[in-house]
Chains A and B, each alone.
Chain A
Amino acid sequence: MTQAEAKNVNVWYDSFQALKDISMTFEPNTVTALIGPSGCGKSTFLRLFNRMNDLIPLFRVEGLVTVNGQNVYSKDIRLDEMRKKVGMVFQKPNPFPKSIFENVAYGLRVNGISNRKEIEETVERSLKQAALWDEVKDSLKKSAMELSGGQQQRLCIARALAVQPKLILMDEPASALDPISTNRIEELIFELKKDYTIIIVTHNLQQAGRISDATAFFYLGELVEFNLTKKIFLNPDNERTQNYITGRFG
Chain B
Amino acid sequence: MNTKQLKQRIAFSIFGTMSFIVVAILVIILGFIVIRGMSAISWEFLTEMPKDGMTKGGIFPAIVGTGCLVLGSMVFAFPIGVLSGIYINEYLTESWLKKFLRMMTNNLAGVPSIVFGLFGMALFVNYLSFGDSIIAGSMTLGLLALPVVIRLTEEALKTVDDNLRLGSYALGATKIQTIQKVVIPIAFPNIMTGLILSIGRVSGETAPILFTVAAYFLPRLPHSLSDQVMALPYHLYVLATSGTNMEESRPMAYGTALVLVSIVLIINVSASLLRRRIQKKVKMN
Contact surface of A with B, Cβ cutoff 8 Å:
50, 52, 55, 57, 79-81, 83-84, 86-88, 90, 92, 94-99, 102, 106-107, 109-111, 143, 145, 156, 159-160, 163
The 8 A CB mask of B268-285 against A (1 = contact, 0 = none) is: 000000000000001111
Distance of A110 Cα from B181 Cα, bound (Å): 9
Distance of A52 Cα from B166 Cα, bound (Å): 8
Interface of B is mostly: helix
* Interchain residue pairs with CB less than 8 A apart (17): A50-B170, A52-B170, A55-B169, A81-B172, A83-B169, A83-B171, A83-B172, A88-B166, A90-B167, A94-B161, A97-B282, A102-B285, A107-B172, A107-B173, A110-B171, A111-B172, A143-B284
Distance of A95 Cα from B174 Cα, bound (Å): 18
Given A97-B282, A99-B285, A143-B285, verify A57-B93 contact (CB < 8 Å): yes
Q: List 10 other contacts, CB 8 Å, given A50-B170, A55-B169, A83-B169.
A: A52-B166, A52-B169, A80-B173, A83-B170, A86-B170, A106-B171, A106-B181, A110-B172, A160-B171, A163-B172
Given A57-B93, A97-B186, A97-B282, verify A80-B174 contact (CB < 8 Å): yes
* Distance between B178 CB and nearest chain A CB, rounded to angstroms: 8
Please tell me if B35 contacts chain A, counting CB pairs below 8 Å.
no
By size class, the interface of chain B is 20 to 34
* Distance between A230 CB and nearest chain B CB, rounded to angstroms: 31
Most chain A beta carbons < 10 A, residue from B161, B170, B174, B181: B170
* Distance between A101 CB and nearest chain B CB, rounded to angstroms: 10
Please tell me if B2 contacts chain A, counting CB pairs below 8 Å.
no
Q: What are the residues of chain A within 8 A of B164 when measuring CB–CB? A: 94, 96
Q: What are the residues of chain B within 8 A of A86 when measuring CB–CB? A: 170
The 8 A CB mask of B176-214 against A (1 = contact, 0 = none) is: 010001100110000000000000000000000000000
Given A94-B161, A98-B285, A143-B284, verify A110-B167 contact (CB < 8 Å): no
Distance of A156 Cα from B163 Cα, bound (Å): 12
The answer, among B93, B166, B172, for a CB contact under 8 Å with A80, is: B172
B170 touches A87 (CB 8 A): yes
A163 touches B163 (CB 8 A): no
* Distance between A61 CB and nearest chain B CB, rounded to angstroms: 17
Q: What are the residues of chain A within 8 A of B177 when measuring CB–CB? A: 110
The answer, among B93, B171, B185, B282, for a CB contact under 8 Å with A107, is: B171
Please tell me if B168 contacts chain A, counting CB pairs below 8 Å.
yes
* Distance between B159 CB and nearest chain A CB, rounded to angstroms: 12
Question: Which 3 A-B residue pairings sit nearest by Cβ, starting from the closest?
Answer: A84-B172, A107-B171, A88-B170
Distance of A240 Cα from B267 Cα, bound (Å): 66
A90 touches B166 (CB 8 A): yes
Given A97-B186, A110-B181, A143-B284, verify A84-B163 contact (CB < 8 Å): no
A96 touches B166 (CB 8 A): no
Please tell me if B52 contacts chain A, counting CB pairs below 8 Å.
no
A94 touches B171 (CB 8 A): no
Given A106-B181, A110-B177, A156-B167, verify A143-B172 contact (CB < 8 Å): no
Q: What are the residues of chain B within 8 A of A143 when measuring CB–CB? A: 283-285
Distance of A157 Cα from B219 Cα, bound (Å): 67
Given A80-B173, A90-B163, A96-B182, verify A106-B168 contact (CB < 8 Å): yes
